[in-house]
């Protein structure tokens, strides 16, 4: 049952997704202004047919078979386990078209665009791409720490461009991904599969800092300095075509588009806005934000902060509800040493090269700026009290206890908003 149905009207208990399970809390003593969730659009009846139709009707581009004709080899970029993109459905029709063009399976490679995330296990890779692909196609992972990077100089905005050398060993590079709202890039997917997907840490730190320094939120925007940098970098790597999809909040395929990178991505954004753009209240006393589906660690769950920050009043409270079974982060532990500092302090340390992990620093700046606007509480089985304090947050054992504490400190009844899928929600403030 859709969340907007099961949670109306003014329920005594509110149910939120929490990893593979659910968490319930009582809003007693508060006024629930709204429970906000993306539109639960029905999925495609035949997902494979959906992908086939996208490949057969390219946007501003020849078909994939025509593009691949005469090419010796091809590289397909896919995202990792932190994203819900169903590569197991996308890849087989793409491989069929490449083989129809004369590229043999031995000359087709899939590269998992990890960015700066941890490597995936063999079991996770199997689940992501499916046995039919894994049995026939070489599947590799980008590791920014060990990959051979090609130095492509700088963009006009002085972003250093370092990209996995493997991209330049293939005649054809095709990107994939699912488009959802994203606080750094405006929306995910498109050129983002290259930057940060298969880029070096210096490149990723620079583009992320563009977002951290932005005067206005980039969430839900398209033509941003970050998107411009990402697309310029993708251009330099020769990634001209993408297969991007739109999912419903349950991770099921709704739409798919294939074609030239820029127009295809922008048409997918239009599809995505219809699902994830949600009319919400603003100037709220507090927002309870479930991190689903970005639950694995706080490095992903932090995406809950930015939609909530748009809705909460200055000095209000954001309550992030997230399981985080892998804790704060597997690959960026250094940030725990300074993440609680003010944004200006972190920026100074970044600009004076005092921080080794500059990607982590860029996110720490973003978190600090949210803290300047609102108090942050976290309800999580995977984050300790000490880790919460190191992030500049307050940990609460339950949502109910967090709300009770806020209510006790207020003379008035609190106006509360609830986000069931906060990371993927684009608030349309009313």
Average pLDDT, the chain: 94
What pLDDT does 5 receive? 42
pLDDT at 266 over 80: yes
pLDDT at 7 > cutoff 60: no
Residue 345 lies in a domain: yes
Among residues 25, 44, 82, 405, which one has the least CA distance to residue 257?
44
Same domain, yes or no: 62 and 95: yes
Both 374 and 227 in one domain: the answer is no
Distance between CA 229 and CA 207 in Å, rounded?
7
pLDDT for the residue numbered 174: 98
Same domain, 255 and 363: no
Give residue 11's pLDDT band: very low, low, confident or very high (50, 70, 90).
low
Does a structural domain hold residue 112? yes
HSE, side-chain direction, 13 A CA sphere, residue 98:
25
Task: Classify residue 41: in a domain, yes or no.
Answer: no
CATH number, position 161? 3.40.50.11440
Phi, psi of 175 (to 5 degrees): -100, 150
3-state DSSP call for residue 46? coil
Mark which of 226, 258, 275 sits at the end of a domain.
Answer: 275
Hey, is 190 helix, strand or coil? helix
Confidence at residue 12, expressed as pLDDT on a 0 to 100 scale: 82
The closest of 404, 389, 390, 382 to 360, measured between CA atoms, is: 390
Q: Do both 348 and 376 map to the same domain?
A: yes
Q: Which residues are registered as beta bridge partners of 75? A: 109, 173
318 domain-assigned = yes
Indicate which CATH number applies to the domain containing 396.
3.90.226.30
Asked whether the bond before 318 is cis by omega within 30 degrees of 0, the reply is no
**Contact present, 180 and 188 (Cβ < 8 Å):** yes
Determine, yes or no, domain membership for 390.
yes
387: containing domain? 3-36+281-429
Are 317 and 216 part of one and the same domain?
no
- In this structure, the answer to whether residues 310 and 381 fall within a common structural domain is yes
pLDDT at 340 (0 to 100): 97
> Are 261 and 355 found together in one domain?
no
Contact 80, 112 (CB under 8 A): yes
Residue 42 in domain: no
Based on the fold, state whether residues 271 and 285 are members of the same structural domain.
no
Print burial letters for 245-263: b (CB count within 10 Å at least 16), e (below 16). bbbbbeeebbbbbbbebbe
Residue 228 within a domain: yes
The dihedral built from the CA positions of residue 415, 421, 422 and 426, taken in this order, carries a sign that is: negative
Q: In this structure, what token pair is assigned to residue 245? A: 């999809």
Residues 288-307 pLDDT 10s: 999 999 999 999 999 999 99
Q: Over 50: is that where the pLDDT of 333 sits? A: yes
Cα separation values, 116 from 86, 231, 356, Å? 21, 19, 14
Does the structure show a pLDDT above 60 at 160? yes
Q: Are residues 76 and 219 both part of a single domain?
A: yes
Instruction: Identify whether residues 116 and 86 lie together within a single domain.
Output: yes
Q: Which of 228, 245, 275 is the last residue of a domain?
A: 275
335 and 239 part of one domain: no
Please classify residue 226 by burial: count the beta carbons closer than 10 Å to its beta carbon, then call 0-12 exposed, 13-18 middle and 19+ buried.
buried
Separation between Cα atoms, residue 182 and residue 188, nearest integer Å = 6
Per-residue pLDDT tens digits for 102-135: 999 999 999 999 999 999 999 999 999 999 999 9
Domain boundary among 258, 275, 292: 275
Two tokens at 424? 């993927």
pLDDT in tens, 207-265: 999 888 888 899 999 999 999 999 999 999 999 999 999 999 999 999 999 999 999 99
Question: Is residue 9 predicted with pLDDT exceeding 90?
Answer: no
How many CA atoms does the CB half-sphere of 146 hold within 13 Å? 8
Q: Pick the range with the lowest mean pLDDT from 6-10, 40-44, 221-225.
A: 6-10
- Tens-place pLDDT, residues 345-397: 999 999 999 999 999 999 999 999 999 999 999 999 999 999 999 999 999 99
* Predicted local distance difference test score (pLDDT) of residue 411: 86
Is the residue at 157 inside a domain? yes
- Do 254 and 321 fall within a single domain? no
Task: Give the residue from 118, 162, 111 showing the smallest Cα distance to 133.
Answer: 111
Alpha helices (runs of H) in 277-357, residue ranges in sequence order: 298-301, 305-311, 343-351
* Contact by Cβ (8 Å): 247, 79: no
Report the number of distinct structural domains present in the chain: 2
């Amino acid at each position: 049952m859709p969340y907007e149905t099961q949670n109306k009207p003014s329920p005594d208990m509110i149910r939120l997704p929490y990893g593979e399970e659910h968490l319930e809390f009582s809003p007693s003593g508060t006024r629930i202004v709204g429970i906000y969730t993306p539109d639960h659009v029905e999925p495609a009846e035949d997902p494979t047919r959906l992908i086939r139709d996208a490949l057969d009707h390219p946007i501003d581009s020849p078909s994939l078979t025509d593009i691949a004709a005469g090419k010796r080899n091809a590289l397909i970029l896919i995202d990792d386990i932190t994203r819900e993109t169903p590569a197991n459905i996308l890849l087989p029709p793409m491989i069929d078209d490449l083989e129809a063009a004369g590229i043999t399976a031995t000359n087709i490679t899939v590269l998992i665009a990890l960015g700066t995330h941890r490597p995936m296990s063999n079991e996770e890779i199997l689940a992501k791409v499916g046995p039919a692909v894994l049995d026939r196609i070489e599947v590799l992972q980008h590791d920014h720490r060990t990959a051979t990077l090609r130095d492509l100089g700088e963009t006009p905005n002085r972003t250093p461009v370092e990209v996995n050398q493997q991209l330049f060993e293939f005649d054809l590079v095709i990107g994939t991904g699912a488009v959802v709202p994203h606080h750094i890039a405006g929306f995910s997917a498109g050129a983002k599969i290259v930057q940060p997907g298969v880029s070096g840490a210096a490149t990723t730190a620079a583009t992320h800092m563009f977002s951290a320094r932005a005067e206005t939120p980039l969430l839900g925007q398209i033509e941003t300095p970050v998107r411009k940098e990402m697309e310029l970098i993708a251009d330099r790597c020769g990634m001209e075509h993408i297969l991007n999809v739109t999912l419903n909040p349950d991770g099921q395929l709704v739409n798919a588009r294939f074609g030239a990178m820029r127009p295809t991505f922008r048409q997918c954004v239009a599809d995505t806005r219809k699902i994830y753009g949600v009319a919400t209240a603003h100037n709220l006393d507090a927002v309870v934000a479930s991190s689903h589906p970005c639950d694995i660690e706080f490095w992903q769950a932090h995406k809950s902060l930015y939609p909530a920050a748009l809705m909460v009043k200055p000095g209000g409270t954001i309550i992030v509800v997230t399981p985080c079974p892998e804790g704060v982060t597997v690959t960026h532990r250094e940030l725990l040493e300074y993440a609680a500092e003010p944004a200006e302090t972190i920026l100074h340390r970044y600009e004076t090269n005092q921080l080794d992990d500059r990607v982590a620093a860029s996110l720490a700046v973003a978190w600090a700026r949210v803290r300047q606007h609102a108090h942050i509480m976290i309800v999580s089985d995977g984050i300790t009290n000490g880790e919460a304090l190191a992030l500049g947050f307050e940990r609460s054992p339950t949502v109910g206890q967090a709300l009770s504490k806020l209510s006790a400190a207020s003379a008035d009844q609190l106006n509360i908003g609830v986000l069931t899928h906060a990371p993927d929600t684009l608030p349309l403030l009313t």
